[in-house]
Structures are given as structure tokens and as C-alpha cells.
Amino acid sequence: MNFNFANERPADADAIIFAVPKNGLADLQLDLEQGGTVKAGAKAARFDGKLGEVFETFVTESDKILRVVLTGLGKGKAKDAESAGGSAIAKILASGAKHAAVDPSSLDEKILARFLFGAKLRSWRHDKYRTKMPEKQKVTLQNITVLDADLATSKAWTDLSAVADGVALTRELVAEPANAIYPESFVARCEELKELGVEFTVLGWDEMEKLGMGALLGVSQGSERPPRLLAMRWDGTNGEQKTPLALVGKGVTFDTGGISLKPGAGMEEMKWDMGGAGAVAGTMKALAGRKAKAHVVGVCGLVENMPDGKAQRPGDVVTSMNGQTIEVINTDAEGRLVLCDAMHWTQETFKPDVLIDLATLTGAMIIALGNEHAGCFSNDDGLAENLLEAGKDSGDPLWRLPVGPAYDKLINSPIADMKNVGPRGAGSITAAQFLKRFVQDGVKWAHLDIAGMVWADKPSPVWDKGATGYGVRLLNQYVVDQLES
């Protein structure tokens, strides 16, 4: 979608969008020859600017048919503006309209930027493999022109636009099938970030084997696709922030469960088991794209979990990079094996004070929180509170759950330092407790289990069905609040 800025409506615009606050229809100024008729029609349709309401009609302008869209702004808060912008675009994305103008007269600069942010988020679609899509389902909208030329270079818009680009990268990585996105191609897809100034480090099998990453490599050994550890570093502080914030993402590009094979029904969804790594990559693009004054490193542990003759077996014992041994009770509890080595390497290499990992880690998280919140586990109350607040502000919500010694004993093994699963109860908590054993003394750590959030079965105002891009807005907001304020 192309976003353009001008002070006059382009001659080829065939649609125009107005944002209407709740109960603000009477005060709405429509720069249209038939503005009164539009308002009367909206009133007759009981449109009164409530959030989520969209009214569409057609008028004649200079012998040309013009589509008019009124979208409810609700109370006009930032989140409301995002939803209103997304709702308007969802209405006309595949409507036949090709060029929409946005009238900004009822919006100040910051609210207008958030309105357009919602529009840009909602305009993303993944149709590249659909060759026989019905004409009426195809995206027709190609250009959006905002009737405010000054907004084009405002920080309010350019920053949000960069975040939307990061969300789009995450959605693309998550939505692509596993024959398109696997460890090597994930790295290749992210290489565009080098043009934004992001530094890359990539480790292959041999390098990880020398480092002793037996947990991560154990997951990968049954696949023909070789693993990768990808580290992306952005320093927008010119060296002022000596210690980076560390983000670590689980990147299982396809998860069959390994020898502990998953049921066949629904297994195709396991292409999005790399959603944590996808969120990390998208966040790095967002931060670099908006030139964030922050020092951040994003690390992705990338593997494919397959049931080959070389695959690890239930009962195998592997040795992690930090020397702790793990009895693999269930090869489908593989994400924590990938993360523990990636987390240890990140701490050894970058010496962070704060480490946040993201992972589609447990089905138990979906049972507990559904698709409304991701789970947050942390060893530091301040970090947890800051992340929860960033979740509220960004629209990527979190809910905190406990970790502690009472759960630690549930993953003790009789033959190794620990086992990779506990009992049926508290499955998400014992997974977090496992990861906590790999957090070094003094490091503030949070684990975000995002299993229920990276994929949606129904659309929202800011995403269509499918990949949501969850995590990018959250982490970007955290960086704004904690590293740039």
C-alpha cells in the first residue's frame, strides 16, 4: 500500500474517508457537493461515530462517482484512532476502490498518525499463493493520500510507519509456509535489515557444536534443514548505551513434535512456531527503521523439528551450552531446548542487564489465556510491570503468571540436572521455570509465552485472519518507555 501526502484531493481519488467522533456527526464538516445528503444518510443508518462503526455511501462529484466512508472514532483516544483507521481500510480494501483520500480535518497530528498506523496495519494481506482468488476478494486499494502534506515528515507518522513495516515483516515470516521459511531462508529474508544499519552475526552447525549447544542442536538433528543462530544488533546511541537490551526469539520454523509426533489434524499450523523469532526480527526492523536511540540485540534460535532416523529420542540426555544436562522426556517440548542455548550464548556474548525471550512455547498458555493475552513470567517485578504497561499502551496485551521454587521441583530429573517437561498441571509455568535456570545472576529476565497471539482465526480492526505480528508493537513501546525516555 502506498501512502502519499498532499494538501488537495488527487483527481483520481475514487474514495474519501472521514473519521467521526462519537456523537460528532452533526458537527462533521464534509467538503463535498452532497455533504448534507451524506450526513442525512448516515443519521438514517444510525451511524453516530461509535468505535467500530463504518458507514459507506456514494455521491456524484463533477460527474464522477465518489465513495464516501465515515468511520467511528469513538472517544478519539490513540487506540481508538488505530481501530478506526483499520476499520475504514478493511471496508474498502477489496471493494473496487483504488485510491482513497483521508480527510484529516477532525484529527490532530498525533491522532491522525495513529489513524494511519491502523490503516497501514490493516492493509497487509498475504495472497501470494492464491492464483484463483475470486475477483471480489482481490485487493483493489493501491494508494492512500492523506490531505495533510506536513504529516509526511512528522516524527509522529514516520516512527509509526516504521513500526508498521516491522509488523509486516513479522507477519510475512509467520505466514510463509515451512518450505519457504526455514532457518537458512529466515536469515536471508532478514538481510534487508543490513541496509538499515543492523549488524549481523550468523552461526551454523559447526560453530554451535564447538560452543557446546547440545540442547539446540539436539532439536535440529532430525532435519535436513541445518540450524542457524542469528544475532542482529542495532545501536542508535553511538555507543552511549554500553549494555544492550537483549531480545531472544524461539524460531522453530516447523514443528512436527519430532519422535513425540503431534496429531496430524492442525499440524500445518506449526509453520508459525517461529513466531517469537519473527517478532524479534520485526522489532529490529522497526527500531532500525525509525532510528531508535537505543542499543538492542535480537537473537533468533532457528531450527526445524523433524522425526528422522537421526532425531533425538524421548529419554535422551543432552548437554546445554552452560553445562547443565537435560533429560528429554518429550521431543515436542523443543522450544525451551532451543531457547536455553540461545539465551546463554546471548548473555555470554553481549552481557545484557535485561533479557526478554519470546516464544510460542506451550499449548497450556492458550488453555489459560485463550487468544486475548500473552503470558508474562519474570524474575523482576519492575521489568514485568514495565512490560505489562507497554502491552496496554501498544495493543499487544500481557498477563503475568508466577514462577518460583514450588514449581522448580516439578522439572527435576532422576538422571540429569533437569527434564524438559513437568507434569500435566502448570505446563506454561514449568516451561518458564526451565528457562529461568539459564538466566545468569543479576540479569533481569522476562519470558513471554505468545502461543495464543501470533495467529488469529478471525480478523480484528488492525489485522486480517492469519498472522498478527504480535510482539513488535509491545517491544517497540517498551524500548520507547525504558531506553529512550
pLDDT computed for residue 433 by the predictor: 98
Phi, psi angle pair for 158, to nearest 5°:
-65, -35
Average of per-residue pLDDT across 180-196: 98
Q: CB neighbours of 167 closer than 8 A, spacing ≥ 6? A: 121, 124, 282, 286, 469, 472, 473
Length of the chain: 485
User: Secondary structure of 322-379 in the HEC alphabet?
Assistant: CCCEEECCCCCCCHHHHHHHHHHHHHHHHCCCEEEEEECCCHHHHHHHCCCCEEEEEC
Same domain? For 94 and 185 the reply is: no
Mean pLDDT of the chain: 97
Q: By C-alpha distance, which of 250, 244, 199 is closest to 229?
A: 250
- Give the model confidence (pLDDT) of 119-150 as tens digits: 999 999 999 999 999 999 999 999 999 999 99
Distance in angstroms (rounded) separating the CA atoms of residues 58 and 52? 20
pLDDT computed for residue 397 by the predictor: 98
Same domain? For 31 and 164 the reply is: no
Same domain? For 212 and 235 the reply is: yes
Same domain? For 133 and 208 the reply is: no
Q: Are 353 and 444 in contact (CB under 8 A)?
A: yes
Per-residue pLDDT at 38 exceeds 90: yes
pLDDT computed for residue 296 by the predictor: 98
Strand-by-strand arrangement of the 325-327 sheet: 317-319, 325-327, 418-419
- Which range, of 34-38, 357-361, 381-385, 412-416, averages the lowest pLDDT? 34-38
pLDDT computed for residue 62 by the predictor: 84
Catalytic residue chosen out of the listed positions 9, 22, 262, 436: 262
Q: By C-alpha distance, which of 276, 434, 242, 249 is closest to 351?
A: 242
Q: Specify whether 262 is catalytic.
A: yes
Asked whether residue 104 is domain-assigned, the answer is yes
Same domain? For 44 and 75 the reply is: yes
- Give the model confidence (pLDDT) of 90-115 as tens digits: 999 999 999 999 999 879 999 999 99
Same domain? For 116 and 237 the reply is: no
Same domain? For 137 and 212 the reply is: no
Same domain? For 58 and 185 the reply is: no
* Cα 163–chain centre separation: 10
For residue 273, the enclosing domain spans 160-482
% of the chain beyond a pLDDT of 70: 100
Per-residue pLDDT at 160 exceeds 90: yes
Same domain? For 119 and 164 the reply is: no
CA distances from 127 to 93, 131, 170, 281, 334 (A): 13, 8, 16, 22, 31
pLDDT computed for residue 106 by the predictor: 79
pLDDT computed for residue 56 by the predictor: 98
Give the N- to C-terminal CA distance of the chain in Å, as an integer.
Answer: 32
Per-residue pLDDT at 382 exceeds 90: yes
pLDDT computed for residue 271 by the predictor: 98
Q: By C-alpha distance, which of 417, 390, 382 is closest to 474?
A: 390
Banded pLDDT at 33 (limits 50, 70, 90) = confident
Same domain? For 83 and 202 the reply is: no
Q: Are 461 and 86 in contact (CB under 8 A)?
A: yes
Asked whether residue 155 is domain-assigned, the answer is no
Same domain? For 207 and 75 the reply is: no
Per-residue pLDDT at 31 exceeds 90: no
pLDDT computed for residue 472 by the predictor: 98
Q: By C-alpha distance, which of 274, 465, 449 is closest to 363?
A: 449
Task: Report the DSSP pairing between strands 64-74 and 54-61.
Answer: antiparallel
Same domain? For 225 and 351 the reply is: yes
Instruction: Render the burial of 267-277: b for 16+ CB within 10 Å, e for the rest.
Output: eeebbbbbbbb
pLDDT computed for residue 210 by the predictor: 98
Asked whether residue 152 is domain-assigned, the answer is no
Q: Is the pTM of this model over 0.75?
A: yes
Q: Are 317 and 415 in contact (CB under 8 A)?
A: yes
Q: Specify whether 189 is catalytic.
A: no
Task: List the CATH number of the domain containing 19.
Answer: 3.40.220.10
Catalytic residue chosen out of the listed positions 122, 171, 336, 473: 336
Max Cα–Cα distance, the chain, nearest Å: 82
pLDDT computed for residue 172 by the predictor: 98
Asked whether residue 153 is domain-assigned, the answer is no
Per-residue pLDDT at 454 exceeds 90: yes
Distance in angstroms (rounded) separating the CA atoms of residues 433 and 436? 5
Per the structure, the count of domains in the chain is 2
Distance in angstroms (rounded) separating the CA atoms of residues 228 and 191? 14
Average of per-residue pLDDT across 254-275: 98
CA distances from 355 to 46, 377, 383 (A): 50, 12, 10
- Give the model confidence (pLDDT) of 277-333 as tens digits: 999 999 999 999 999 999 999 999 999 999 999 999 999 999 999 999 999 999 999
